[in-house]
Structure 1
Amino acid sequence: MITAAADGSALGNPGPAGWAWYVDDDRWGAGGWKHATNNQGELKAVLELFRATAHLDDELLVLCDSQYVINCITKWMPGWKRKGWRKADGKPVLNVELLKELDDELAGRRYRFEWVKGHVGHPMNEAADVRARAVAESYRSGGPVPSGPGWRDEISGAATRGADATTDAAASVDPIDEVELELAAASVIDASVPADPNPGADDDTLFSFDEAPDAWHQLTVELSTEEHDRLLQLARAAGVAPEEYLRGLI
Protein backbone atom coordinates (compact mmCIF):
# COMPACT_ATOMS: atom_id res chain seq x y z
CA MET A 1 0.00 0.00 0.00
CA ILE A 2 1.19 3.50 -0.84
CA THR A 3 0.62 6.21 1.77
CA ALA A 4 0.57 9.79 0.50
CA ALA A 5 -0.53 13.20 1.75
CA ALA A 6 -2.36 15.77 -0.37
CA ASP A 7 -2.93 19.42 0.47
CA GLY A 8 -3.86 22.78 -1.00
CA SER A 9 -3.12 26.39 -0.14
CA ALA A 10 -4.63 29.72 -1.20
CA LEU A 11 -3.29 33.09 -0.08
CA GLY A 12 -6.40 35.18 0.51
CA ASN A 13 -8.73 32.32 -0.50
CA PRO A 14 -9.29 33.05 -3.31
CA GLY A 15 -5.87 34.23 -4.37
CA PRO A 16 -2.53 32.81 -5.49
CA ALA A 17 -2.94 29.09 -4.89
CA GLY A 18 -0.96 25.88 -4.84
CA TRP A 19 -1.46 22.15 -4.49
CA ALA A 20 0.90 19.34 -3.57
CA TRP A 21 1.00 15.61 -2.97
CA TYR A 22 3.79 13.98 -1.01
CA VAL A 23 5.03 10.42 -0.46
CA ASP A 24 8.66 11.11 0.44
CA ASP A 25 11.39 13.57 -0.51
CA ASP A 26 12.02 11.69 -3.78
CA ARG A 27 8.35 11.34 -4.76
CA TRP A 28 6.18 14.44 -4.67
CA GLY A 29 4.49 16.81 -7.07
CA ALA A 30 3.16 20.36 -6.93
CA GLY A 31 1.58 23.07 -9.05
CA GLY A 32 -0.94 25.86 -8.83
CA TRP A 33 -2.64 28.91 -10.28
CA LYS A 34 -2.44 32.68 -10.13
CA HIS A 35 -5.96 32.82 -8.68
CA ALA A 36 -7.96 29.97 -7.14
CA THR A 37 -9.49 28.76 -3.87
CA ASN A 38 -8.19 26.47 -1.16
CA ASN A 39 -10.82 23.85 -2.01
CA GLN A 40 -9.68 23.81 -5.62
CA GLY A 41 -6.11 23.29 -4.46
CA GLU A 42 -7.17 20.43 -2.18
CA LEU A 43 -9.10 18.71 -4.99
CA LYS A 44 -6.30 19.22 -7.52
CA ALA A 45 -3.72 17.73 -5.14
CA VAL A 46 -5.72 14.50 -4.87
CA LEU A 47 -6.40 14.46 -8.63
CA GLU A 48 -2.71 14.79 -9.51
CA LEU A 49 -1.76 12.16 -6.93
CA PHE A 50 -4.06 9.65 -8.62
CA ARG A 51 -2.74 10.62 -12.05
CA ALA A 52 0.88 10.23 -10.94
CA THR A 53 0.19 6.74 -9.55
CA ALA A 54 -2.16 5.55 -12.31
CA HIS A 55 0.44 3.03 -13.57
CA LEU A 56 0.61 1.27 -10.18
CA ASP A 57 -1.57 -1.53 -8.82
CA ASP A 58 -1.03 -0.71 -5.14
CA GLU A 59 -3.85 0.44 -2.90
CA LEU A 60 -3.54 4.15 -2.14
CA LEU A 61 -4.03 5.59 1.36
CA VAL A 62 -4.57 9.34 1.04
CA LEU A 63 -3.93 11.50 4.11
CA CYS A 64 -6.06 14.61 3.76
CA ASP A 65 -6.93 17.46 6.14
CA SER A 66 -9.97 18.55 4.11
CA GLN A 67 -13.30 17.00 5.07
CA TYR A 68 -14.74 18.79 2.03
CA VAL A 69 -12.58 16.69 -0.31
CA ILE A 70 -13.18 13.44 1.57
CA ASN A 71 -16.95 13.95 1.63
CA CYS A 72 -17.05 14.97 -2.04
CA ILE A 73 -15.31 11.78 -3.13
CA THR A 74 -16.69 9.21 -0.70
CA LYS A 75 -20.21 10.49 0.01
CA TRP A 76 -21.58 13.19 -2.27
CA MET A 77 -20.39 12.46 -5.82
CA PRO A 78 -22.68 9.45 -6.48
CA GLY A 79 -25.75 11.56 -5.69
CA TRP A 80 -24.49 14.55 -7.66
CA LYS A 81 -23.88 12.35 -10.71
CA ARG A 82 -27.41 10.94 -10.53
CA LYS A 83 -28.75 14.51 -10.52
CA GLY A 84 -26.64 15.62 -13.48
CA TRP A 85 -23.94 17.16 -11.26
CA ARG A 86 -26.45 19.34 -9.47
CA LYS A 87 -27.17 19.68 -5.77
CA ALA A 88 -30.50 19.01 -4.10
CA ASP A 89 -31.51 22.65 -4.56
CA GLY A 90 -30.92 22.38 -8.31
CA LYS A 91 -27.82 24.58 -8.30
CA PRO A 92 -24.66 23.38 -10.08
CA VAL A 93 -22.09 21.58 -7.96
CA LEU A 94 -19.06 23.73 -7.10
CA ASN A 95 -15.72 22.82 -8.70
CA VAL A 96 -17.55 20.44 -11.02
CA GLU A 97 -14.80 20.16 -13.65
CA LEU A 98 -12.23 19.04 -11.08
CA LEU A 99 -14.75 16.61 -9.59
CA LYS A 100 -15.54 15.09 -12.99
CA GLU A 101 -11.83 14.58 -13.65
CA LEU A 102 -11.45 12.97 -10.24
CA ASP A 103 -14.40 10.69 -10.93
CA ASP A 104 -12.67 9.47 -14.10
CA GLU A 105 -9.34 8.90 -12.35
CA LEU A 106 -10.88 6.99 -9.44
CA ALA A 107 -12.53 4.38 -11.67
CA GLY A 108 -11.03 0.96 -10.99
CA ARG A 109 -8.61 2.24 -8.34
CA ARG A 110 -8.22 0.84 -4.82
CA TYR A 111 -7.98 3.64 -2.29
CA ARG A 112 -8.89 4.89 1.18
CA PHE A 113 -8.94 8.35 2.72
CA GLU A 114 -7.81 9.18 6.23
CA TRP A 115 -8.61 12.56 7.75
CA VAL A 116 -5.69 14.19 9.56
CA LYS A 117 -5.81 17.44 11.46
CA GLY A 118 -3.87 20.12 9.63
CA HIS A 119 -1.14 22.35 11.07
CA VAL A 120 -0.44 20.21 14.13
CA GLY A 121 2.89 18.74 13.06
CA HIS A 122 1.81 15.60 11.16
CA PRO A 123 5.02 14.96 9.14
CA MET A 124 3.48 14.02 5.78
CA ASN A 125 0.67 16.57 5.98
CA GLU A 126 3.19 19.28 6.85
CA ALA A 127 5.42 18.24 3.93
CA ALA A 128 2.52 18.56 1.49
CA ASP A 129 1.36 21.83 3.08
CA VAL A 130 4.82 23.42 2.87
CA ARG A 131 5.09 22.54 -0.82
CA ALA A 132 1.58 23.75 -1.68
CA ARG A 133 2.17 27.03 0.13
CA ALA A 134 5.55 27.47 -1.59
CA VAL A 135 3.78 27.29 -4.95
CA ALA A 136 1.19 29.85 -3.85
CA GLU A 137 3.98 32.14 -2.64
CA SER A 138 5.75 31.74 -5.98
CA TYR A 139 2.65 32.78 -7.90
CA ARG A 140 2.25 35.79 -5.60
CA SER A 141 5.87 36.89 -6.01
CA GLY A 142 6.25 35.91 -9.66
CA GLY A 143 9.13 33.57 -8.87
CA PRO A 144 9.82 30.06 -10.22
CA VAL A 145 7.20 27.48 -9.30
CA PRO A 146 8.53 24.31 -7.60
CA SER A 147 6.94 21.30 -9.30
CA GLY A 148 8.80 18.43 -7.63
CA PRO A 149 10.26 15.23 -9.11
CA GLY A 150 6.86 13.56 -9.57
CA TRP A 151 6.59 9.81 -9.07
CA ARG A 152 10.04 8.38 -9.75
CA ASP A 153 9.98 4.69 -10.57
CA GLU A 154 12.48 2.88 -8.35
CA ILE A 155 13.63 0.58 -11.15
CA SER A 156 13.75 2.70 -14.29
CA GLY A 157 14.13 6.09 -12.64
CA ALA A 158 11.40 7.48 -14.91
CA ALA A 159 9.22 10.15 -13.36
CA THR A 160 5.46 10.53 -13.65
CA ARG A 161 4.21 13.99 -12.77
CA GLY A 162 0.51 13.74 -13.57
CA ALA A 163 -1.35 15.63 -16.27
CA ASP A 164 0.11 19.05 -15.50
CA ALA A 165 2.64 19.76 -12.78
CA THR A 166 1.95 23.48 -12.96
CA THR A 167 -1.03 25.33 -14.36
CA ASP A 168 -0.37 28.92 -15.38
CA ALA A 169 -4.01 29.65 -16.19
CA ALA A 170 -6.49 31.29 -13.85
CA ALA A 171 -8.87 28.81 -12.27
CA SER A 172 -12.57 29.50 -11.99
CA VAL A 173 -13.52 30.61 -8.49
CA ASP A 174 -16.70 29.58 -6.73
CA PRO A 175 -17.96 32.39 -4.47
CA ILE A 176 -18.97 30.12 -1.60
CA ASP A 177 -15.40 28.81 -1.40
CA GLU A 178 -14.17 32.15 -0.05
CA VAL A 179 -14.44 30.71 3.45
CA GLU A 180 -13.15 27.16 3.91
CA LEU A 181 -15.36 25.28 6.36
CA GLU A 182 -14.21 21.88 7.51
CA LEU A 183 -15.75 19.54 10.07
CA ALA A 184 -13.29 18.50 12.76
CA ALA A 185 -13.98 14.79 12.97
CA ALA A 186 -11.06 12.38 12.63
CA SER A 187 -11.97 9.23 10.73
CA VAL A 188 -10.75 6.69 8.20
CA ILE A 189 -13.17 6.48 5.27
CA ASP A 190 -13.23 3.55 2.88
CA ALA A 191 -13.49 4.28 -0.83
CA SER A 192 -16.48 2.02 -1.38
CA VAL A 193 -19.79 3.85 -1.18
CA PRO A 194 -22.80 1.77 -0.10
CA ALA A 195 -26.00 1.87 -2.07
CA ASP A 196 -28.13 4.87 -1.20
CA PRO A 197 -31.07 3.58 0.89
CA ASN A 198 -32.99 6.78 0.20
CA PRO A 199 -32.29 8.08 -3.33
CA GLY A 200 -34.45 11.13 -2.74
CA ALA A 201 -32.35 12.41 0.13
CA ASP A 202 -29.48 14.87 -0.18
CA ASP A 203 -25.99 13.40 -0.35
CA ASP A 204 -24.38 16.75 0.41
CA THR A 205 -26.23 17.71 3.57
CA LEU A 206 -24.83 17.81 7.08
CA PHE A 207 -28.19 17.07 8.67
CA SER A 208 -31.20 14.82 8.18
CA PHE A 209 -34.26 16.27 6.48
CA ASP A 210 -36.36 14.02 8.71
CA GLU A 211 -35.65 16.24 11.71
CA ALA A 212 -38.14 18.83 12.87
CA PRO A 213 -37.90 22.02 10.77
CA ASP A 214 -37.57 24.20 13.86
CA ALA A 215 -34.70 22.16 15.33
CA TRP A 216 -31.42 23.94 16.02
CA HIS A 217 -28.11 22.31 15.18
CA GLN A 218 -24.73 23.09 16.66
CA LEU A 219 -21.91 22.89 14.13
CA THR A 220 -18.22 23.16 15.01
CA VAL A 221 -15.94 24.45 12.28
CA GLU A 222 -12.17 24.59 12.17
CA LEU A 223 -10.51 27.56 10.47
CA SER A 224 -6.87 28.38 9.94
CA THR A 225 -5.65 31.78 11.17
CA GLU A 226 -5.73 33.05 7.60
CA GLU A 227 -9.28 31.80 7.05
CA HIS A 228 -10.45 33.23 10.38
CA ASP A 229 -9.05 36.65 9.48
CA ARG A 230 -10.77 36.44 6.10
CA LEU A 231 -14.07 35.56 7.78
CA LEU A 232 -13.81 38.56 10.10
CA GLN A 233 -13.07 40.85 7.15
CA LEU A 234 -16.06 39.58 5.19
CA ALA A 235 -18.36 39.83 8.21
CA ARG A 236 -17.24 43.40 8.97
CA ALA A 237 -17.74 44.39 5.34
CA ALA A 238 -21.28 42.97 5.47
CA GLY A 239 -21.98 44.67 8.82
CA VAL A 240 -22.91 41.44 10.60
CA ALA A 241 -21.44 39.11 13.19
CA PRO A 242 -19.28 36.24 11.87
CA GLU A 243 -21.96 33.72 12.88
CA GLU A 244 -24.59 35.62 10.90
CA TYR A 245 -22.29 35.83 7.88
CA LEU A 246 -21.76 32.07 7.91
CA ARG A 247 -25.49 31.47 8.33
CA GLY A 248 -26.10 33.66 5.29
CA LEU A 249 -24.00 31.33 3.14
CA ILE A 250 -26.41 28.45 3.70
Structure 2
Amino acid sequence: MTIIAAADGSALGNPGPAGWAWYVDENTWAAGGWKHGTNNIGELTAVLELFTATAHVDDDLLVLCDSQYVINSVTKWMPGWKRKGWRKGDGKPVLNLELMKELDAAIAGRRYRFEWIKGHAGHPLNEAADERARGAAEAYQRGTAVPSGPGYPGAASADPAKAAPAARAEPAATPVRPSAQPTLFEDAAPAAESVDVTVRLTADEHARIERRARAQGLSVEEALRGLI
Protein backbone atom coordinates (compact mmCIF):
# COMPACT_ATOMS: atom_id res chain seq x y z
CA MET A 1 0.00 0.00 0.00
CA THR A 2 1.23 3.51 -0.80
CA ILE A 3 0.49 6.60 1.27
CA ILE A 4 0.08 9.59 -1.02
CA ALA A 5 0.55 12.92 0.73
CA ALA A 6 1.34 16.51 -0.15
CA ALA A 7 3.72 18.57 1.97
CA ASP A 8 4.04 22.34 1.83
CA GLY A 9 5.35 25.37 3.70
CA SER A 10 4.44 29.03 3.86
CA ALA A 11 6.09 32.20 5.17
CA LEU A 12 4.39 35.59 5.21
CA GLY A 13 7.13 38.00 4.18
CA ASN A 14 9.73 35.20 3.95
CA PRO A 15 10.99 35.43 6.60
CA GLY A 16 7.98 36.15 8.75
CA PRO A 17 5.16 34.24 10.42
CA ALA A 18 5.53 30.75 8.94
CA GLY A 19 3.69 27.47 8.71
CA TRP A 20 3.99 23.89 7.50
CA ALA A 21 1.45 21.22 6.61
CA TRP A 22 1.12 17.76 5.17
CA TYR A 23 -2.16 16.43 3.81
CA VAL A 24 -3.49 12.98 2.87
CA ASP A 25 -7.23 13.61 3.11
CA GLU A 26 -9.73 15.57 5.20
CA ASN A 27 -9.33 13.15 8.10
CA THR A 28 -5.55 12.80 7.85
CA TRP A 29 -3.45 15.95 7.95
CA ALA A 30 -1.35 18.05 10.29
CA ALA A 31 -0.05 21.60 10.46
CA GLY A 32 2.03 23.87 12.66
CA GLY A 33 4.36 26.83 12.47
CA TRP A 34 6.36 29.57 14.15
CA LYS A 35 6.20 33.27 14.85
CA HIS A 36 9.19 33.78 12.54
CA GLY A 37 10.62 31.49 9.87
CA THR A 38 11.37 31.03 6.18
CA ASN A 39 9.50 29.25 3.44
CA ASN A 40 12.29 26.68 3.05
CA ILE A 41 12.15 25.83 6.75
CA GLY A 42 8.39 25.36 6.40
CA GLU A 43 8.83 23.09 3.37
CA LEU A 44 11.49 20.97 5.06
CA THR A 45 9.53 20.70 8.31
CA ALA A 46 6.38 19.60 6.46
CA VAL A 47 8.25 16.68 4.90
CA LEU A 48 9.98 15.83 8.18
CA GLU A 49 6.69 15.82 10.09
CA LEU A 50 5.11 13.62 7.41
CA PHE A 51 7.86 11.02 7.75
CA THR A 52 7.65 11.22 11.54
CA ALA A 53 3.86 10.84 11.58
CA THR A 54 4.00 7.74 9.36
CA ALA A 55 7.03 6.10 10.98
CA HIS A 56 4.86 3.44 12.63
CA VAL A 57 3.37 2.08 9.39
CA ASP A 58 5.07 -0.25 6.90
CA ASP A 59 3.79 1.39 3.74
CA ASP A 60 5.46 3.09 0.81
CA LEU A 61 5.28 6.88 0.91
CA LEU A 62 4.76 9.11 -2.13
CA VAL A 63 5.50 12.73 -1.21
CA LEU A 64 4.00 15.38 -3.48
CA CYS A 65 6.13 18.49 -3.11
CA ASP A 66 6.33 21.80 -4.99
CA SER A 67 9.80 22.62 -3.63
CA GLN A 68 12.72 21.59 -5.84
CA TYR A 69 14.99 22.65 -2.96
CA VAL A 70 13.51 20.01 -0.66
CA ILE A 71 13.41 17.27 -3.31
CA ASN A 72 16.99 17.87 -4.44
CA SER A 73 18.22 18.15 -0.85
CA VAL A 74 16.84 14.72 0.06
CA THR A 75 17.32 12.81 -3.19
CA LYS A 76 20.47 14.34 -4.72
CA TRP A 77 22.58 16.51 -2.45
CA MET A 78 22.38 14.90 0.99
CA PRO A 79 24.76 11.95 0.37
CA GLY A 80 27.49 14.34 -0.81
CA TRP A 81 26.90 16.71 2.08
CA LYS A 82 27.31 13.87 4.55
CA ARG A 83 30.57 12.71 2.95
CA LYS A 84 31.90 16.26 3.27
CA GLY A 85 30.93 16.57 6.93
CA TRP A 86 27.64 18.33 6.13
CA ARG A 87 29.30 20.95 3.97
CA LYS A 88 28.44 22.06 0.45
CA GLY A 89 30.76 21.85 -2.53
CA ASP A 90 32.10 25.33 -1.79
CA GLY A 91 33.02 24.28 1.73
CA LYS A 92 30.29 26.34 3.39
CA PRO A 93 28.01 24.71 5.97
CA VAL A 94 24.73 23.28 4.70
CA LEU A 95 21.78 25.59 5.31
CA ASN A 96 19.09 24.44 7.75
CA LEU A 97 21.57 21.84 9.00
CA GLU A 98 19.63 20.51 11.99
CA LEU A 99 16.52 19.95 9.89
CA MET A 100 18.60 18.20 7.23
CA LYS A 101 20.10 15.86 9.82
CA GLU A 102 16.66 15.07 11.25
CA LEU A 103 15.35 14.37 7.75
CA ASP A 104 18.32 12.10 7.07
CA ALA A 105 17.47 10.11 10.19
CA ALA A 106 13.73 10.07 9.45
CA ILE A 107 14.07 8.64 5.93
CA ALA A 108 16.51 5.90 6.93
CA GLY A 109 14.99 2.50 6.14
CA ARG A 110 11.83 4.00 4.65
CA ARG A 111 10.41 3.23 1.20
CA TYR A 112 9.59 6.59 -0.33
CA ARG A 113 9.47 8.58 -3.53
CA PHE A 114 9.17 12.28 -4.22
CA GLU A 115 7.11 13.77 -7.04
CA TRP A 116 7.37 17.42 -7.98
CA ILE A 117 4.02 19.20 -8.23
CA LYS A 118 3.71 22.72 -9.59
CA GLY A 119 2.44 24.95 -6.80
CA HIS A 120 -0.81 26.89 -7.08
CA ALA A 121 -1.77 24.95 -10.20
CA GLY A 122 -4.95 23.33 -8.89
CA HIS A 123 -3.60 19.99 -7.67
CA PRO A 124 -6.09 19.09 -4.92
CA LEU A 125 -3.62 17.64 -2.39
CA ASN A 126 -1.07 20.40 -2.94
CA GLU A 127 -3.74 23.07 -2.63
CA ALA A 128 -5.02 21.51 0.60
CA ALA A 129 -1.52 21.40 2.11
CA ASP A 130 -0.79 24.95 0.99
CA GLU A 131 -4.06 26.21 2.48
CA ARG A 132 -3.26 24.65 5.85
CA ALA A 133 0.37 25.80 5.91
CA ARG A 134 -0.69 29.35 5.11
CA GLY A 135 -3.48 29.09 7.67
CA ALA A 136 -0.92 28.21 10.35
CA ALA A 137 1.29 31.15 9.32
CA GLU A 138 -1.69 33.52 9.40
CA ALA A 139 -2.71 32.22 12.82
CA TYR A 140 0.75 33.07 14.17
CA GLN A 141 0.52 36.47 12.51
CA ARG A 142 -2.82 37.13 14.23
CA GLY A 143 -1.85 35.47 17.50
CA THR A 144 -4.77 33.03 17.32
CA ALA A 145 -5.03 29.26 17.74
CA VAL A 146 -3.28 27.23 15.06
CA PRO A 147 -5.39 24.47 13.45
CA SER A 148 -3.06 21.51 14.01
CA GLY A 149 -5.17 18.82 12.33
CA PRO A 150 -6.07 15.24 13.31
CA GLY A 151 -2.64 13.84 12.43
CA TYR A 152 -2.03 10.31 11.14
CA PRO A 153 -4.01 7.37 12.61
CA GLY A 154 -1.99 5.57 15.24
CA ALA A 155 0.79 8.15 15.37
CA ALA A 156 2.00 9.25 18.80
CA SER A 157 0.96 12.87 18.34
CA ALA A 158 -1.69 13.46 20.99
CA ASP A 159 0.55 15.15 23.54
CA PRO A 160 0.50 18.70 24.92
CA ALA A 161 3.81 19.61 23.27
CA LYS A 162 2.13 19.30 19.86
CA ALA A 163 -0.64 21.75 20.70
CA ALA A 164 -0.39 25.24 19.29
CA PRO A 165 0.83 27.71 21.93
CA ALA A 166 -2.07 30.05 21.26
CA ALA A 167 -4.52 27.27 22.11
CA ARG A 168 -3.19 26.99 25.64
CA ALA A 169 -3.40 29.52 28.40
CA GLU A 170 -0.20 31.44 29.01
CA PRO A 171 1.50 30.19 32.18
CA ALA A 172 1.79 32.63 35.02
CA ALA A 173 5.17 34.28 35.42
CA THR A 174 7.46 32.34 37.73
CA PRO A 175 9.05 34.50 40.43
CA VAL A 176 12.82 34.16 40.71
CA ARG A 177 13.92 33.27 44.21
CA PRO A 178 16.96 35.24 45.31
CA SER A 179 18.63 32.08 46.63
CA ALA A 180 18.30 29.96 43.48
CA GLN A 181 17.36 29.98 39.82
CA PRO A 182 13.93 28.57 38.88
CA THR A 183 14.01 24.89 38.07
CA LEU A 184 12.80 23.39 34.79
CA PHE A 185 9.45 22.22 36.14
CA GLU A 186 8.99 24.88 38.79
CA ASP A 187 5.37 25.55 39.63
CA ALA A 188 4.29 29.09 38.75
CA ALA A 189 2.05 29.43 41.84
CA PRO A 190 3.83 31.58 44.46
CA ALA A 191 2.66 29.41 47.37
CA ALA A 192 3.67 26.09 45.84
CA GLU A 193 6.75 24.28 47.06
CA SER A 194 9.42 23.94 44.38
CA VAL A 195 10.93 20.57 43.55
CA ASP A 196 14.12 20.03 41.57
CA VAL A 197 13.69 17.41 38.86
CA THR A 198 16.36 15.95 36.59
CA VAL A 199 15.20 14.41 33.31
CA ARG A 200 17.53 12.13 31.37
CA LEU A 201 16.74 11.79 27.65
CA THR A 202 18.36 9.79 24.90
CA ALA A 203 19.69 11.73 21.92
CA ASP A 204 16.69 10.62 19.84
CA GLU A 205 14.22 11.63 22.55
CA HIS A 206 15.84 15.05 22.89
CA ALA A 207 15.77 15.53 19.10
CA ARG A 208 12.05 14.72 18.98
CA ILE A 209 11.24 17.13 21.80
CA GLU A 210 13.42 19.81 20.19
CA ARG A 211 11.72 19.35 16.81
CA ARG A 212 8.24 19.55 18.33
CA ALA A 213 9.22 22.61 20.33
CA ARG A 214 10.64 24.38 17.29
CA ALA A 215 7.56 23.54 15.21
CA GLN A 216 5.41 25.34 17.77
CA GLY A 217 7.71 28.25 18.52
CA LEU A 218 8.59 27.00 22.00
CA SER A 219 11.81 26.35 23.86
CA VAL A 220 12.64 22.77 24.81
CA GLU A 221 11.95 23.66 28.44
CA GLU A 222 8.48 25.00 27.55
CA ALA A 223 7.69 21.87 25.54
CA LEU A 224 8.75 19.61 28.42
CA ARG A 225 6.80 21.72 30.90
CA GLY A 226 3.71 21.23 28.73
CA LEU A 227 4.02 17.46 29.17
CA ILE A 228 3.20 17.80 32.86
TM-score relative to the length of structure 2: 0.70
CA distance in 2, matches of 1:94, 1:63: 22
Aligned equivalent of 1:80: 81
Matches within 5 A, 1:169-248: 169=218
- Please list the CA deviations of residues 200-248 of structure 1 after superposition, one character each: whole Å capped at 9, or x if unmatched: xxxxxxxxxxxxxxxxxxxxxxxxxxxxxxxxxxxxxxxxxxxxxxxxx
Structure 1, gaps ≥5 residues long: 171-250
Where 2:94 maps in the other structure, the secondary structure is coil
Aligned equivalent of 1:142: 143
State the one-letter code of the partner of 1:143: T
Where 1:151 maps in the other structure, the secondary structure is coil
Matches within 5 A, 1:9-24: 9-24=10-25
CA distance in 2, matches of 1:29, 1:52: 9
Q: CA deviation at 1:160?
A: 3.9
Q: CA deviation at 1:74?
A: 0.1
Where 2:58 maps in the other structure, the secondary structure is coil
2:216 to 151, 162, 167: 167
* Aligned pairs, number: 166
CA distance in 2, matches of 1:167, 1:108: 27
Where 2:133 maps in the other structure, the secondary structure is helix
Q: CA deviation at 1:10?
A: 0.2
Between the aligned residues of both structures, percent identity stands at 73
Once superposed, what is the RMSD of the aligned Cα atoms?
A: 1.7
Q: 1:5 to 1:77 in 2, by over 3 A?
A: same
Aligned equivalent of 1:34: 35
Q: CA deviation at 1:90?
A: 1.0
Structure 2, gaps ≥5 residues long: 163-207, 220-228
CA distance in 2, matches of 1:89, 1:151: 39
Matches within 5 A, 1:83-94: 83-94=84-95
Aligned equivalent of 2:64: 63
Q: Which runs of 4+ in 1 moved over 3 A?
A: 158-163
Where 1:84 maps in the other structure, the secondary structure is coil
State the one-letter code of the partner of 2:37: A
CA distance in 2, matches of 1:129, 1:159: 24
State the one-letter code of the partner of 1:131: R
CA distance in 1, matches of 2:14, 2:151: 26
Where 1:8 maps in the other structure, the secondary structure is strand
CA distance in 1, matches of 2:217, 2:128: 23
Where 2:19 maps in the other structure, the secondary structure is strand
State the one-letter code of the partner of 1:99: M
Structure scoring higher RCO (CA < 8 A, sep ≥ 6) equals: 1
CA distance in 2, matches of 1:51, 1:88: 29
Aligned equivalent of 1:241: none
- Please list the CA deviations of residues 74-98 of structure 1 after superposition, one character each: whole Å capped at 9, or x if unmatched: 0000000000111111111000100
Q: CA deviation at 1:53?
A: 0.2
